[in-house]
Amino acid sequence: MPAVRSKICGITRIEDALAAVDAGADAIGLVFYRRSPRAVSVQQARAIIAALPPFVTTVGLFVDASRCELGEILDAVPLDLLQFHGDESADACDGYHRPFIKALRVKPGDDIAALAARYPKASGILLDTYVAGVPGGTGESFDWSLIPRELSKPLILAGGLTPDNVADAVRQVRPYAVDVSGGVEASKGIKDAQKIRAFIDAVKGGSAA
């Protein structure tokens, strides 16, 4: 099985971005959702991205952002990939002509394959846990057995992943990639370099099994 890729989301500091890259992360996530404790300004995002070495994917996370707000951020910040984490329609996601992944928040009874099929232009589908009233970053996991064996798009598994459970998640789900925020933090918005390294080592361990 090819190594499962890792994205470390909710980066707010240059040192955390560099710790993620140093540990082997493939992507870092920058949250442009003002209500998140991990939200970054355009200036912060630009400074973090400017400090990165090449070949690290920069992902901008949005939750039902207006066209105007998102357009202004895209003009100012060199993002490689957009992550739509709200209730955005397929048309809204497609409208920026940028590669994107669509997050679906999973609850029992969902037809995940059918929901994913609504986004034919997505580069990948991210599955996170449904928690009423919160769009994501909750630190809650969901029942991975709800995930269909075959999805039409690369699957990015998220939701409550930690250094302790991610190897099991990788073995069970065999995703294309995993995404973590709270599970590698010292406090909201501040990452813990040791937890990041332990997380990525566990992803590699799970991939090799």
Among all residues, which ones are annotated catalytic? 9, 128
Which of the residues 22 through 61 are near ligand LGQLAAA5 (CB under 6 A)? 29, 31, 33, 36, 38, 61
Q: Which of 185, 154, 178 is nearest to 24 (CA)?
A: 178
Which of the residues 98 through 157 are near ligand LGQLAAA5 (CB under 6 A)? 126, 128, 135-139
Sign of CA dihedral 186, 190, 192, 196: positive
Total residues at interface with ligand LGQLAAA5 (CB under 6 A): 26
Which of the residues 150 through 179 are near ligand LGQLAAA5 (CB under 6 A)? 158-161, 179
Q: How far is the CB of 13 from ligand LGQLAAA5 (least distance, A)?
A: 14
Number of helices (H) and strands (E), helices first, in the chain? 7, 10
Spatial distance between the Cα atoms of 16 and 192, rounded to a whole number of angstroms: 8
Sign of CA dihedral 100, 15, 38, 105: positive
Interface positions with ligand LGQLAAA5 (CB under 6 A): 9-10, 29, 31, 33, 36, 38, 61, 63, 85, 126, 128, 135-139, 158-161, 179-183
